[in-house]
Amino acid sequence: MRVILASPRGFCAGVVRAIEIVERALERYGAPVYVRHEIVHNRHVVEKLRRKGAVFVDHLSDVPAGAQTVFSAHGVARSVVDEATARGLPVLDATCPLVTKVHVQGRRYAKAGRTLVLIGHAGHAEVEGTMGQVDAPVHLVSTPADVALLPIDPATPVAYITQTTLSVDDTRVVIAALEDRFADVIGPSVAEICYATQNRQTAVRDLARVSDVLIVVGAGNSSNSSRLREIGDEMGVPSYLVDDGDGVDPAWIAGAGAVGITAGASAPDELVDSVIAALARVRPVEVSQLDGVVETMSFSLPPELRRPAVTAAAA
């Protein structure tokens, strides 16, 4: 059985940066380091960091006074930042720079007097953070039907921003609905959606064209991983989302000549390896990789972690 890997797949630059922030904080300040929400949406990554001394909490009230704190890659509302400041908590912000870019866009549009619409999924950590970063009402939509229900006069100047991990196609459809309903609409191009999201969605389309079955490695609460599985389904390929190799059902690959594997932006390569191993226990496999975009993007760490640590002797 042929096993074909998508390229690119797995960790993006924002996830690499977020994980490195937690790891370096543990090295520099010692355990425990408190992380508000999961640093990224992947159980294996979270558990690995927990074993090193990271403590994951849902609320800042769960963080002891003076404890080193990290904000997750998804970003947080300004109220959370203000609470941390008021409590004097030392904070390292692991918000993905591309999410921060969306925050800046939203504030700029609101300051210009436009009514702001956020294209995204209710309840997602990134969406909650983005809505809390803008000092103005934000209308959340996820489908063209939601656009039709917006309580906004069609003559109102509108601007939109987007969750970074959405399907590019779905986003394009919602933007079209906004442009149909409102006379004055501005917002970023679909091409400005997170580079990693676009690259992985393009790669999974290429993969689906040569696969009988598609397996996406990623967490169930990972928006970008779920989108990859949905794209496979939309292309008519039976597609499954698994945490790791333990989630593979041998029945999925019965009769399959080629199984495609990709991974969401918060899934490490070791989990892809575990899926390949699970498939190999069912049938002999031959592994290859499609050609794809080579990602060279990287994001700098917070200044506190770029500076050399001050030793006791130096102090």
Residues forming the active site: 126
In three state form, how does the secondary structure of 6-25 look? CCCCCCCHHHHHHHHHHHHH
Name the 3-class secondary structure at 91: strand
d(CA 260, CA 6): 7
CB-based contact 302:29 (threshold 8 Å)? no
Task: List the structure tokens of 259.
Answer: 């199984």
Q: Is the dihedral of CA 210, 292, 226, 160 positive or negative?
A: negative
Q: Which residues contact 198 (CB under 8 A, 6 or more apart)?
A: 168, 191
Residue 141 — φ and ψ, nearest 5°? Answer: -135, 150
